[in-house]
Structure 1
Amino acid sequence: MNQEDGPEATATRRATGEAESSRANRGWWDRNADEYQDEHGAFLGDDRFVWGPEGLDEAEAALLGPAAGLRGRDVLEIGAGAAQCSRWLAAQGARPVALDLSHRQLRHALRSASGANGAGGEPGAGGTAGGASGSPGTGPAAGGTSGAGPGPAGPVALVQADAGALPFADGSFDLACSAYGAIPFVADPVRVMREVRRVLRAGGRWVFSVTHPLRWAFPDEPGPEGLSVAASYFDRTPYVEEDERGNAVYVEHHRTAGDRVRDVVAAGFRLVDLVEPEWPDWNTQEWGGWSPLRGRLIPGTAIFVCTRD
């Protein structure tokens, strides 16, 4: 759960709908993108695909498939933030599109790409980040690529949009992914997943990571105080941070593990794997409620690997 807002935000659990959740989270990420990237940017890297605070890397996990098989594939990243994952995909020869609700997060994608590749642009339907002469095309309409293996990262298209109303034609992508993006923050995850299914081609894979549902029963603390159950795992009441007027400024939605599985199935996907990354010995950092102490005892992240039959 969120640990970034200042003391003016009051945490509570209350009902909240789709519109309020979207408005609150768009505003929160626009206000806090700079702080978030300053605090976590070094861990996330500029062109690394990390699934969560444990540090599980797509280069090793291959949840989207073998890295060699990504070349020439159209990939949609939802809740892309600064688009680190998309830049890694581009370096493998894929044609990624990085979508986020927050304009400020996408500005960080431009900054990171400019630092890495010397290119930039404005996020929108056709904005791109990164790129080098002769690199793969961008977006689902781009042509094929050639070459034996990954080279310099190609362009990454940046799109600002709501995940519940994806601005793409049916069957535009081969793969879709989201590392802690969008899904934990929406009131209607099935709507988002149905949109993902719509824009995927037959046989496409959809992989997303979220806070492990079990974590909602524990305090969001990295130390020993975070090891005792403090709430009902079955309480689906959203976590909301409010300003002094009672307006939501940040929202997260809890779903049990069973809920998440039913959401996947209701959206028309087939769940093929559920990955619960273990905390590695090399990772000594704390990130909100994530820490080596807690990570070695209870799962912090759940990654759902789904296919569109």
Structure 2
Amino acid sequence: MTSPSQANRAYWDDDAANYHAEHPEYLSSFYWCPEMLHEGQAHLLGNVSNSSVLEIGCGSASCTEWLQSRAHFATGFDISRGMLNHAAPGLPLVQADALSLPYATDAFDDAFSAFGAFPFLANLDLALSEVSRVLKPSGRFVLSTNHPMRWIFPDDPTDLSYFDRAYLEQDRDGYLTYAEFHRTIADWFKALQGEGPFLLGDIIEPEWPMDLTTTWGQWSPKRGETFPGTIIFVCRNCR
């Protein structure tokens, strides 16, 4: 039986070239979301000049690359070798699964994920526990992901309920080929703070910029002026 990790690794390996061809501007620097909120503008990680920073689900690591001249040390990992192959040469990257991080306990001052890994993880609690483990106590964790409301307005004709927690694709033989997972606002609160290892400091819902005309699946000017497509959680490690 194909696991979600195996399915998504194969999916992103196959789609890496197409993904980079379709989204060159977004992948050119450290953008938190399709609304093109830049870390240089948002400062969600704060001053990282003396910090070791981990990017979770880095893809081709455009965010990690941007941090190289700003952080004391910045590294990232991704499950997809195909995505990592598109990264700039010389970046300190590894191939790994977010459910089993290959880093020592208390290894990093800060960690973040800009639409990386978390929408594709069936076991959110395990992934967050791993992030908490590798973060130093009181370390900052920032996560941007699909806004829960956006789930019910997909970019294909599939009908999804706000209370559906997964979208799965299978081939003709019944093998899983793609897996994406949804969390409600209540799910996120319980996972991060209610029963989880973090203390929520802020929740951000970026507005769609008036001058941004890009349509990217579920993200577009028409939808963006009506409701948010991204949610960003800013947290502290409470371990």
TM-score (norm 1): 0.74
Which residue of the partner structure matches residue 44 of structure 1?
A: 27
Which residue of the partner structure matches residue 147 of structure 2?
A: 212
Task: Tell me the secondary structure at the aligned position of residue 144 of structure 2.
Answer: strand
Letter aligned with residue 30 of structure 1: D
1:196 to 124, 127, 131: 131
Q: CA deviation at 1:51?
A: 0.8
| Runs (4+) off by over 3 Å | none
Check the 8 A contact 2:140/2:235 in 1, yes or no: yes
Q: CA deviation at 1:184?
A: 0.5
Which residue of the partner structure matches residue 33 of structure 1?
A: 16
For 2:78 and 2:27, the matched residues in 1 are separated by: 17
2:62 is equivalent to residue 62 of structure 1 = no
Letter aligned with residue 164 of structure 2: D
Letter aligned with residue 168 of structure 1: Y
Q: CA deviation at 1:235?
A: 2.2
CA offset digits 1:178-213 (Å, max 9, x no partner):
011111100011100110000001120011111100
Q: RMSD between aligned alpha carbons?
A: 1.7
Task: Tell me the secondary structure at the aligned position of residue 272 of structure 1.
Answer: strand
2:213 is equivalent to residue 277 of structure 1 = no
CA offset digits 1:29-55 (Å, max 9, x no partner):
01111110111123320xx11111111
Letter aligned with residue 31 of structure 1: D
Which residue of the partner structure matches residue 232 of structure 2?
A: 303
Q: CA deviation at 1:246?
A: 2.0
Check the 8 A contact 2:113/2:143 in 1, yes or no: yes
CA offset digits 1:45-69 (Å, max 9, x no partner):
0xx111111111111111111xxx2
For 1:182 and 1:275, the matched residues in 2 are separated by: 19
Q: CA deviation at 1:217?
A: 1.7
2:190 is equivalent to residue 262 of structure 1 = yes
TM-score (norm 2): 0.94
Letter aligned with residue 114 of structure 2: A
Task: Tell me the secondary structure at the aligned position of residue 23 of structure 1.
Answer: helix
Which residue of the partner structure matches residue 139 of structure 1?
A: none
Gaps of 5+ in 1: 1-16, 114-119, 121-128, 130-155
Map 1:144-159; keep pairs closer than 5 Å: 156-159=91-94
CA separation of 1:219/1:204 partners in 2, compared to 1, >3 Å: closer, same or farther?
A: same
Which residue of the partner structure matches residue 287 of structure 1?
A: 216
Count of aligned pairs: 237
Q: CA deviation at 1:20?
A: 1.5
CA offset digits 1:12-36 (Å, max 9, x no partner):
xxxxx9x611111000001111110
Which residue of the partner structure matches residue 161 of structure 1?
A: 96
2:59 to 59, 62, 81: 81
Q: CA deviation at 1:232?
A: 2.5
For 1:72 and 1:64, the matched residues in 2 are separated by: 12
Letter aligned with residue 48 of structure 2: L
Q: CA deviation at 1:295?
A: 0.6
Check the 8 A contact 2:144/2:230 in 1, yes or no: yes
Structure number, greater radius of gyration: 1
